[in-house]
Structure 1
């Protein structure tokens, strides 16, 4: 079964094309399942759209849900369309997000850490002038948030768990055992992680997470799933077959898909 659970569209302000275009692309690529998972609004912010180039406005959220549900029905005979969302994880703002997601018929929710200490994980400047000890602290703060997101019980999938390497490839080699600790917590909380192929579009030039992290994930019993993190329709399902082969080489036998917040496992 070919699927892609991580796609965006133009509501977030930094992706191209509408939801229908991503579904049509998925059909062209031979997918059986396409998940729509645009960036959640900043629900705890007082204004409607705090960051127009990063996430949809709060006032757009209901229309987003309605459109995905309508397209789910429209395309039912051609492809299974899933309603998801990529939710930011802010530990001090959980109640606002939980309230917003209440009674929404999601098929799954992706939880992603996009900022540490209020700075984007993709900000190259955060690493300037840091010594080795300070770099370790930055990496450990990131993985502490990932651990917290796993424990929150809010998420079915954790998004791009080493994406801090995106524009700082040296991130991978910063020495700390917190990656192992985080993977143990993720396994204990029974949350899946995604293999996210959008890392190829960044300076790191590879998927999230690295093969080393995936090998550890298998060791600790973490379940995996797939998401292209497409921001243009043409990237839907990008490198799916390559990921399948890599996971088989590492030793995985199955991976996860979702429906109505219930996980089911699919043979690779």
Structure 2
């Protein structure tokens, strides 16, 4: 089975192409399942759309749901279309997001950390300004946020779990027990992590992914595609890597239920 659970589209303001474009690309790539998972609006904001490039407007969210549900029907028999969402982990607004998300017929919810303790995951200049000791503290803070997101019970999948490795130079060389604490929390919470193949830099990879396997952490795949042609990118290579380190199955979702399917080499 070939699938991709992490894709975006033009509503979020920083991706290209319509939902239909991503579905058509998935068919061209031979996928059996395609998940549509654009960013949630900023539900806690008084403004309809506080950022034109950060997410869709609150007023667009019902239409997003309606469109994907309709496309599910249109593509039945050609490809299985899944309705997902990527929701930031915002501890102070968790119950608001929980109530909104519960009102819609989602197949799965991806929980991602894009900011933690006031630090943005893309802020490489901030990282470079830190002392070695502070860099270690920041890494521990990030893992603590991931652990909290696993425990909160809102998410089916945790998105780009080690994303700082893409943007913070030397991040992967810092070793901390906080990584093991985080992985244990994920395993105990029975939440799935995605192998995110965006930007040709998979996360998690290497040591953290091998430790995830040892702790019994379940995995799935998401390209994090922001252009239709990148749907399913690196799927076969990721599957092969997972198999090589000991994984034999990974997770797919329907109606907020998880199903484990074999990893084919």
- Is TM > 0.5 for Structure 1 vs Structure 2? yes
| Whole-angstrom distance in 1 between the partners of 2:96 and 2:48 | 14
Offset from partner CA, 1:38-67 (integer Å, 9 cap, x none): 011111111111111011111111010000
Q: Measure how far apart 1:199 and its partner are.
A: 4.0
Contact 1:257 1:266 in 2 (8 A): yes
**1:50-89 → structure 2 map (5 Å cutoff):** 50-89=50-89
Partner of 2:230: 235
Question: C-alpha offsets along residues 227-259 of structure 1, whole Å, 9 cap, x if unaligned?
Answer: 000000000000100011101101100000000
Q: Does 1:187 align with 2:182?
A: no
Q: Any residues of structure 2 matched to 1:248-267 within 5 Å, and which?
A: 248-267=243-262
Alignment of 1:149-164 (within 5 A): 149-164=149-164
1:117 paired residue number: 117
SS of the equivalent of 2:25 reads helix
Q: For each residue in 1:13-51, what CA deviation from the matched residue of structure 2 results, as whole angstroms up to 9, or x when unmatched?
A: 000000000000000000000000001111111111111
C-alpha distance in structure 2 between counterparts of 1:89 and 1:246, whole Å: 28
1:193–1:223 contact (8 Å) kept in structure 2? yes
Cα drift, residue 137 of structure 1: 0.8
Structure 1 residues without counterparts, runs of 5 or longer:
201-205
Q: Distance in 2 between matches of 1:219 and 1:261?
A: 26
Task: Note the C-alpha offset of 1:167.
Answer: 1.7
With structure 1 as the length reference, what TM-score do the two structures score? 0.96
User: Does 2:5 match 1:10?
Assistant: no
- Greater shift after overlay, 166-175 or 250-259? 166-175
State the distance in 2 between where 1:43 and 1:237 align: 29
> Matched residue of 2:202: which SS?
coil
**Matching residue of 1:244:** 239
Q: Stretches of 4+ moved more than 4 A in 1?
A: none
Task: Name the CA distance, whole Å, in 2 between partners of 1:164 and 1:80.
Answer: 32
CA deviation string 1:181-234 (max 9, x = no partner): 10000000000000000042xxxxx20101211100110000000000000000
Whole-angstrom distance in 2 between the partners of 1:124 and 1:214 = 23
Correspondence for 1:207: 202
Counterpart CA distance in 2 for 1:81 and 1:169 is 37
What's the TM-score once normalised by structure 2's chain length? Answer: 0.97
The farther-off stretch of 111-120 and 184-193 is: 111-120
Partner of 2:173: 173
Q: What CA distance in whole angstroms lies between the structure 2 residues aligned with 1:79 and 1:145?
A: 35
Q: What displacement does 1:175 show?
A: 2.3
**Aligned equivalents of 2:123, 2:49: Cα separation in 1:** 21
Moved more, 156-165 or 96-105: 96-105
CA contact (8 A) 1:109 1:157 kept: yes
Q: For the residues of structure 2 that align with 1:38 and 1:47, how far apart are their CA atoms?
A: 19
Distance 2:118 2:192 in 1: 26
Tell me the matched-pair count.
263
Contiguous gaps of at least 5 residues in structure 2: none
Q: Residue in 2 aligned with 1:203?
A: none
